[in-house]
Amino acid sequence: MHSMVSPYRLLTASILLLALGGQALAARPDTRAMTCAQGRALLAGRGTLVMSTGPHTYERFVHNRGFCSLSQETSAQHAPTLDDPRCRIGYICVEATRLLK
């Protein structure tokens, strides 16, 4: 007797595999696992990138103001890397009024 897998089980397994695979693709680069130069190069190549900066922290870095909205300016942002605890990876976007305070 041949054992057949029900379409329901096959669909459930497929959805589970896609969800798990999506988590791996969604993993953020971690600044602590790269040198300062590697972090800067990665950001320069992509323009904007969300990177982990600690076990429970992350930041959206931008290479220049062109990746911010019209009402925003850039502010230099530091992050820990393998070779520099305060590496200036790039910038973050902040509301222009926030810079005046």
Write the pLDDT tens digit of every residue in 19-39: 444 444 458 999 999 999 999
Q: Tokens 């429970």 appear where?
A: 56
Higher per-residue pLDDT: 99 or 45: 45
Tell me the domain boundaries of the chain: 28-100
Eight-class DSSP state of 31? G
> E strands along 1-101, which residues?
48-54, 57-62, 72-79, 87-95
pLDDT band at 8 (very low <50, low <70, confident <90, very high): low
Q: What is the pLDDT of residue 21?
A: 46
Tens-digit pLDDT profile for residues 39-95: 999 999 999 999 999 999 999 999 999 999 999 999 999 999 999 999 999 999 999
